[in-house]
Amino acid sequence: MEVRGRCWKFGDNIPTDQIVRSDRALAPMEEIVRHVLETLNPAFAREVKPGDILVAGKHFGQSSGRAIAPKALRATGIGAVVVEYAARLFYRNCFEIGLPLLECPGITAGVEDGDVLAVDIAAGTIRNETRGRVFYARPVDPFLRRMLQAGGIIPLAAELAEE
């Protein structure tokens, strides 16, 4: 599975409350999507395109374990999240809804906002096509890769029930 798109770069220590503000968490998803990451980059929700790649630093998705944050990111159409390090619950929530997430130490130093990235989830590679650099992410557990291929935990459970 490979996705290619514009890099949206963010920094370190981004809690789920900055991905989706708590006062918006119970709104309909079409409303939430219009405000994703608005306090960090107001242009993100307006300009993100399907397949774009969100890149961030350490401790992405920390704080609350509300699953609305990865669901809102997925609803924007982004193709993958690539971070230096994700909060454990956020990491697992991404796979459970079918949103690819790779942890790649050093990625934020090697990309800039607007670069074109190609992310190969199975191989764990991130190619910065703008700068001609390749980065290698930590391997994703085969079970989690299978969950992604199925589209999340619910479709995977249906597949497993048929086996």
CATH of the domain at 31: 3.20.19.10
Q: Could you tell me the residue range of the domain that residue 71 belongs to?
A: 2-162
Give the per-residue pLDDT at 66. 76
Contact 96, 49 (CB under 8 A): no
Give the per-residue pLDDT at 130. 98
| Domains: count for the chain | 1
Give the per-residue pLDDT at 1. 80
Residues in the chain where the model's pLDDT stays below 50: none
Half-sphere exposure (CA, 13 Å, Cβ side) for 137?
27
Give the per-residue pLDDT at 26. 86
Give the per-residue pLDDT at 8. 98
The tokens of 88 are what?
Answer: 């454990």
How many CB atoms sit inside 10 A of residue 135's CB?
21
**Spatial CB neighbours of 117, under 8 Å, sequence gap ≥ 6:** 4, 5, 6, 7, 53, 55, 82, 111, 126, 127, 128, 129
Give the per-residue pLDDT at 42. 95
